[in-house]
Amino acid sequence: MKGIPVPYLRAWRVQRAISQLDLAAASGISRQIISRLENHPAQNASFDTIGRLAKALDIDAQQLAHIDPATVRFIAPALLAGKVGAA
């Protein structure tokens, strides 16, 4: 598994009142990738991408990926520990 979908990326971005361009600048993820993830909710995002987007949106990576760590055990430990995208 190379990543997981982020079906609520657009909802989080809109809730934070941030444009795709501003999110791209804050996260270091291209606007094209953000657009693709928003327009194709089943598209997988890498754990690094999820972490960077979550940090830019000021939310936990688990929230962005809509993960329940109590029930999902196959997700990368670094993502569950909140270490992805930190720096």
Q: How far is CA 27 from the centre of its chain?
A: 10
What is the domain range of residue 39? 4-80
Q: Report the domain count for the chain.
A: 1
Q: Residue 85: inside a domain, yes or no? A: no
Q: Model's pTM, two decimal places?
A: 0.76
Give a yes or no: residue 86 inside a domain. no
13 found inside a domain:
yes
CATH number at residue 52: 1.10.260.40
Task: Express the helix, strand and coil content of the chain in percent, nearest 5 each.
Answer: 50, 5, 45
pLDDT tens-digit series, residues 20-56: 999 999 999 999 999 999 999 888 999 899 999 999 9
Residue 4: burial class (beta carbons within 10 Å; 0-12, 13-18, 19+): buried
